[in-house]
A and B are shown apart, each in its own frame.
Chain A
Amino acid sequence: MRALREFTKGIIERNPIFVLMLGLCPALAVSTSVTDAVGMGLATTFVLVCSNVSISIIRKIIPYRVRIPCYIVVIASFVTIVKLALNAYLPDLYKSLGIFVPLIVVNCIILGRAEAFASRNGVGLSFMDGLGMGVGFGLGLVLMGFIREVIGAGELCHLRVLWKGYEPMLVMTQPPGAFLVLGFLLGLFNLLHRNLKKSKD
């Protein structure tokens, strides 16, 4: 039961992008299309789950004072695996994600979960926590990618979805659009939280 709760908390209640506000750089940079968003979400989830599990296994051996460098090396190793695998099997995705694949190392969600969760909990719970946080991050990316791609290009997964005469708002696929979409989505999440609290009282 507890494992299920660790999984679901990452999706809405403690969503890494909209509630914890971690990992914002990749969230803005690779949400130009839904395909990129899904790719980045899967890559981050893989690293997050693997690093959470490994850190949870070795948590009792790591000396407290050098724990952060240890975590970083573990995370960087998994990122290198992802980078080589993407380069070999999905070169198009690798190219469009660009430097944000190696930059998964400094994604604060991963180090944050290692420090706050995996270093204190068992392997099973850490696995569920990593999976939940990764899925929450991926869903956030897909939501932003969906809004930006539909409004900015009139497409979804590179297929035309809006009517023929639609003039795409190009700015949405450009950097300013990313900031604006995230700003308004954060506002929306605040509003939802506020209303939820009111209805609970």
Chain B
Amino acid sequence: MDFGELMSIFIGVILVNNFVLSRFLGLCPYIGVSRDTSSAAGMGMAVIFVMTMASAATWFVYNYMLLPNENNVLYLLFRKMIPGITPESFDLSYLETIAFILVIAGLVQLVEMFIAKFSPALYRALGIYLPLITTNCAVLGVAQLNIAFSGQPFSLLKCVVQGAGAGVGFMIAMLLLSGIRERLELADVPPSLKGVPIAFICAGLMSLAFFGFMGLKI
């Protein structure tokens, strides 16, 4: 495996194609939970965790259940029962949206139960953010990007690296914005721009700053 390529995916998805600032994914938690730094950090950690897991899980589902190939689980299962069946009979790739959202929803539930059982301290820190993540479009977005933006199918390792990088990029953007918003509390902002509108304007300026990474070549 080419380490340099993995590195360029990782850095690229953090700085060049930041999920929040240039792809507009996951804006609801980005604006909703960035009022103070500690909750931004908690949400960021939860997102990194779920995105990495979801990238791996959706990779397995897509490659072994939805795509028509020799390793398709359904094909292997029914091969004996129905004679003359080919892998092409199991082309379920049109079900990807339904399959992915169910996998992610199930995964978030599982992660939540697992953390609650094994690490109550971590659960107290991340617990309230986990259910919110099911409807975070960044998680479904990374699963879709893993399959959509690759000429040939992404390998499992690349998907996981892209998922983790997207999570890290999300957390960085969120921490930066929460720092700015904590200062904004004390600033003299025009009354009708207070709160969310000024947060969006700051996000716009941050996005402009992230443009500087556009020509980055690794």
Contacts and interface: CB of A to CB of B under 8 A. Distances in A.
Q: Are both chains from one complex?
A: yes
Interface of A: 21-22, 24-26, 28-29, 68-69, 72-73, 76-77, 79-80, 83-84, 98-99, 102-103, 105-108, 111, 171, 174-180, 182-184, 186-188, 190-191, 194
B191 to A, nearest CB: 8
Given A25-B24, A183-B199, 17 more contacts: A22-B28, A29-B24, A73-B98, A80-B94, A80-B97, A99-B145, A105-B97, A111-B135, A176-B205, A177-B204, A183-B198, A183-B200, A187-B190, A187-B193, A190-B192, A190-B197, A194-B191
B204 A183 contact: yes
B112 interface: no
Given A79-B97, A99-B144, A179-B203, A25 B28 contact: yes
A28 B134 CA distance: 21
Contacts of B25: 25, 103
A50 to B, nearest CB: 15
A102 B28 CA distance: 17
> Considering residues A84, A99, A174, which has the most beta carbons from chain B within 10 angstroms of its beta carbon?
A99
A29 B23 contact: yes
A190 B196 CA distance: 10
B179 interface: no
Contacts of B193: 183, 187, 190
What's the dominant secondary structure at chain B's contact region?
A: helix
B22 interface: yes
A76 B95 CA distance: 9
A176 B197 contact: no
A21 B94 contact: no
Interface of B: 21-28, 31, 94-98, 101-102, 105, 134-137, 140-141, 144-145, 148, 190-193, 196-201, 203-205, 207-208, 211
Given A182-B200, A183-B197, A99 B24 contact: no
Nearest to B193: A187
Contacts of B201: 179-180, 183-184
A171 B208 contact: yes
Contacts of B102: 69, 72-73, 76
Nearest to B207: A176
A180 to B, nearest CB: 4
B94 A105 contact: no
Nearest to B198: A183
Nearest to B18: A175
Contact of A175 (B98, B190, B198, B207): B207
Contacts of A179: 200-201, 203-204, 207
B71 to A, nearest CB: 24
Nearest to A103: B137
B144 A186 contact: no
B91 to A, nearest CB: 13
Contacts of A171: 208
Contacts of B28: 22, 24-25, 108
Given A80-B95, A176-B204, A24 B31 contact: yes
B210 to A, nearest CB: 8
> Considering residues B24, B26, B203, which has the most beta carbons from chain A within 10 angstroms of its beta carbon?
B24
